[in-house]
């Protein structure tokens, strides 16, 4: 078993943001969206959400997809990194129904007017960045209205360094060095499903479940009751 090694929370380095923005995450991002759409279809009579919040939205990979998928919803992406949001806003500029982007450290969002307003809360590739993972669960509780649908998808930490090496060789064989370094650091900073189950229990989020997905992800989904 490898020990968790946290990485910096914000991704605000210009080269790192440029490499992230140029990388092709389409397959994974489309998959995250399909999980969100299934959750919406299967809950609350399939009614579209009124307000969607994408936490740690980065350059908007998921936020923009959500705006397209829910043209009548208010979609809000929140991130603390100015460089990420600069890219997100540029990408959204030509959309008919652009999302709203908000620069805010997640630690301060509990004091915002988003509290108790969201009926869909999502994140993609965020949890492993948080030094205090309980922040994500406290925020999920505080931003949600009763019955809010929730889907958080992230990497999970491999059991050994050799498994981490295998994942990198398999999934990023010839990527730019900065992305390989990010991927390895993210895997080492990620949580195991059992750890997330304990976090949810501590937060009293009894309507959320964690599932391992293929060889490197975990998905937390369900309802806030």
Ligand X SMILES: C[S@@+](CC[C@H](N)C(=O)[O-])C[C@H]1O[C@@H](n2cnc3c(N)ncnc32)[C@H](O)[C@@H]1O
If one counts every other C-beta atom within 10 angstroms of the C-beta of residue 213, the result is 14
| Residues 48-73: b if buried by 16+ CB within 10 A, e if exposed | ebebbbbbbbbbbbbbbbbbebbeeb
CB of 14 to ligand X, least distance (A): 13
Quick one: which of 39, 53, 84, 224 contacts ligand X (CB under 6 A)?
Answer: 84
Quick one: which of 56, 99, 133, 222 contacts ligand X (CB under 6 A)?
Answer: 56
Examine residue 35 and tell whether it contacts ligand X (CB under 6 A).
no
The residue to which tokens 């919040």 are assigned: 53
Binding mask 132-171 for ligand X (x = CB under 6 A): ----------------------------------------
CB of 13 to ligand X, least distance (A): 10
The residue among 92, 84, 134, 82 whose CA lies nearest residue 110 is 134
Examine residue 99 and tell whether it contacts ligand X (CB under 6 A).
no
Q: Which residue is nearest to ligand X (CB)?
A: 58
Pairing of strands 208-213, 217-223: antiparallel
Which residues ranging from 174 to 193 are in contact with ligand X (CB under 6 A)?
Answer: none
* Spacing of C-alpha 28 from chain mean position: 12
* Spacing of C-alpha 9 from chain mean position: 13
Examine residue 87 and tell whether it contacts ligand X (CB under 6 A).
no
Q: Which positions touch ligand X (CB under 6 A)?
A: 9-11, 56-58, 61-62, 79-81, 84, 105-107, 124-126, 129-130
């Amino acid at each position: 078993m490898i020990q968790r090694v946290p990485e910096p929370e914000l991704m605000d380095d210009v080269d790192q943001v440029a490499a992230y923005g140029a990388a092709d995450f389409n397959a994974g991002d489309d998959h995250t969206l399909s999980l969100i759409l299934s959750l919406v279809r299967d809950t609350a009579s399939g009614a579209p959400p009124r307000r969607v919040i994408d936490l740690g939205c980065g350059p908007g990979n998921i936020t923009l997809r959500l705006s397209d998928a829910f043209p009548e919803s208010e979609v809000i992406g929140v991130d603390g990194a100015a460089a990420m949001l600069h890219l997100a806003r540029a990408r959204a500029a030509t959309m008919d129904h652009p999302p709203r982007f908000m620069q805010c450290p997640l630690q301060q969002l509990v004091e915002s007017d988003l509290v108790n307003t969201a009926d869909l809360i999502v994140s993609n590739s965020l949890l492993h960045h948080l030094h205090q993972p309980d922040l994500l669960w406290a925020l999920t509780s505080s931003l949600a209205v009763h019955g809010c649908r929730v889907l958080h998808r992230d990497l999970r930490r491999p059991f050994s360094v050799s498994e981490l090496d295998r994942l990198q060789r398999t999934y990023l064989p010839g990527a730019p060095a900065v992305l390989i370094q990010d991927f390895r650091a993210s895997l080492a900073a990620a949580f195991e499903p059992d750890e997330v189950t304990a976090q949810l229990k501590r937060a009293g989020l009894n309507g959320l479940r964690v599932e391992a997905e293929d060889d490197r992800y975990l998905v937390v989904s369900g309802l806030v009751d």
